[in-house]
């Protein structure tokens, strides 16, 4: 028995909860099976029984997880990788030698650093644009030269919001494809492919898995074209598909994606409103607040909550921001995001001295605890 996005009677919440396959056809199990084999036998005519017979090309558990993610994103195919950076670097490997790439100046620092590395090696030319300026992206493009436009929305860690539909229009007019890092928004509230994006990326470690126990990345495509086939081929040759057990854990996480994301969003909104006028907070960065400069766009393309990510600009310097993180008792001072537990991070310390992130910024990943407990913890940490 299997459910499908093509069944118009089923909502995405149902698709996620059943992770496409409600009951295993062979055993009747209501939890999906885990296939750990690295190789698969051929039949009596020496024909592979599966579409791939070696694990570098995938395995049934991996394909199950990919099918589920593709369905939730309304894409035609998905490819899971052993990490988010493995997915990103594989996509960037398809950029032609010397071609132009445009990306925001503030974004996940791992992606920014890799793009700068490619630029320094002469692999690409790179323009980093100010995502807070709606006109900056279009100005950064070079018609006939720009091959890839990479955006995040909301942007880590300012949570500025880029209009995906407008970015897609500008990218396509320049002859480029648009890839969207939607890690912080998830298919619950934003589906970039339906807004014109060509590829959507997630660090599946984060909201898709949601339990801080998987390292994974995923790319989902709107069209299974030649570039997509190259990405799939590179993943096999490099040997970077997600391992079966991690894929199985990801399926487990997807089954609660909608309830987790909605609770985290509600908590984050409560915290943002509580601290928006707080005497020890200079500014709260959260797209759900009307005061946030990206709120209007966020309302348009984030249709089911504004997510669990927000940042606090505290009154004080970097040392004080670090102290606030270490005083927390419920919120964990740790890297990552999107888990059921709340995390706090002094982003400048993590990114290093060259980071454009303000010294007094604390990034919060809000989980599913009771909002009052989280607010009380932040209050006591602020002293």
Residue 364 pairs in a beta bridge with: 310, 344
Neighbours of 224 (CB within 10 A): 12
- Known active-site residue 56: yes
Describe the strand order of the beta sheet including 281-285 as a list of residue ranges.
281-285, 309-314, 361-365, 343-346, 332-333
- Record the pTM: 0.95
Please identify which of the residues 147, 160, 163, 181 carries the catalytic annotation.
181
Contact 63, 77 (CB under 8 A): no
Specify the pLDDT at position 50.
87
| DSSP letter, residue 278 | -
For the stretch 297-331, pLDDT in tens is 999 999 999 999 999 999 999 999 999 999 999 99
- Known active-site residue 112: no
For the stretch 76-121, pLDDT in tens is 999 999 999 999 999 999 999 999 999 999 999 999 999 999 999 9
**83 Cβ neighbours under 8 A, 6+ residues apart:** 205, 215, 216, 217, 240
Please identify which of the residues 54, 56, 280, 299 carries the catalytic annotation.
56
Q: Domains in the chain and their CATH numbers?
A: 12-254 (3.40.640.10), 258-382 (3.90.1150.10)
Please identify which of the residues 21, 35, 108, 123 carries the catalytic annotation.
108
Give how far Cα 176 sits from Cα of 30, 89, 165, Å: 43, 18, 14
Specify the pLDDT at position 138.
95
Half-sphere exposure of 379 (CA within 13 A, CB side): 11
- Known active-site residue 35: no
Specify the pLDDT at position 2.
45
For the stretch 201-252, pLDDT in tens is 999 999 999 999 999 999 999 999 999 999 999 999 999 999 999 999 999 9
β-pairing verdict for 343-346 and 361-365: antiparallel
- Known active-site residue 206: yes
Contact 81, 216 (CB under 8 A): yes
Please identify which of the residues 21, 112, 206, 222 carries the catalytic annotation.
206
């Amino acid at each position: 028995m299997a459910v499908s996005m093509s069944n118009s009677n089923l909502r995405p919440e149902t698709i996620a909860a059943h992770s496409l396959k409600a009951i295993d056809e062979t055993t009747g199990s209501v939890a999906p099976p885990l296939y750990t084999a690295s190789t698969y036998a051929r039949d009596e005519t020496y024909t592979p029984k599966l579409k791939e017979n070696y694990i570098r090309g995938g395995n049934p558990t991996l394909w199950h997880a990919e099918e589920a993610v593709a369905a939730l994103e309304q894409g035609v195919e998905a490819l899971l990788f052993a990490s988010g950076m493995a997915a990103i670097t594989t996509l960037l490997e398809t950029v032609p030698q010397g071609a132009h790439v445009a990306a925001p100046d503030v974004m996940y620092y791992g992606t920014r650093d890799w793009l700068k590395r490619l630029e320094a090696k002469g692999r690409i030319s790179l323009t980093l644009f100010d995502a807070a300026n709606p006109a900056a992206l279009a100005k950064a493009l070079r018609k006939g030269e720009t091959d890839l436009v990479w955006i995040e929305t909301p942007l880590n860690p300012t949570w500025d919001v880029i209009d995906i539909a407008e970015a897609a229009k500008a990218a396509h007019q320049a002859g480029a494809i648009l890839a969207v890092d939607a890690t912080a928004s998830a298919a619950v509230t934003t589906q970039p492919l339906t807004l014109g994006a060509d590829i959507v990326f997630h660090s599946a470690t984060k909201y898709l898995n949601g339990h801080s126990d998987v390292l994974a990345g995923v790319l989902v495509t709107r069209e299974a074209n030649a570039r997509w086939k190259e990405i799939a081929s590179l993943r096999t040759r490099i040997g970077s598909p997600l391992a079966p057990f991690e894929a199985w854990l990801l399926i487990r996480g997807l089954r609660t994606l909608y309830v987790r994301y909605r609770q985290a969003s509600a908590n984050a909104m409560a915290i943002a409103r509580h601290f928006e006028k707080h005497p020890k907070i200079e500014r709260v960065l959260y797209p759900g607040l009307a005061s946030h400069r990206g709120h209007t766009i966020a309302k348009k393309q984030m249709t089911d909550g504004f997510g669990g990510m927000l940042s606090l600009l505290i009154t004080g310097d970097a040392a004080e921001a670090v102290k606030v993180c270490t005083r927390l008792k419920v919120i964990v001072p740790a890297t990552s995001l999107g888990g059921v537990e709340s995390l706090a991070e002094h982003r400048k310390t993590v990114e290093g001295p060259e980071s454009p992130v303000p010294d007094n910024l604390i990034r919060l990943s809000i989980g599913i605890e009771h909002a009052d407990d989280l607010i009380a913890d932040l209050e006591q940490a602020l002293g």
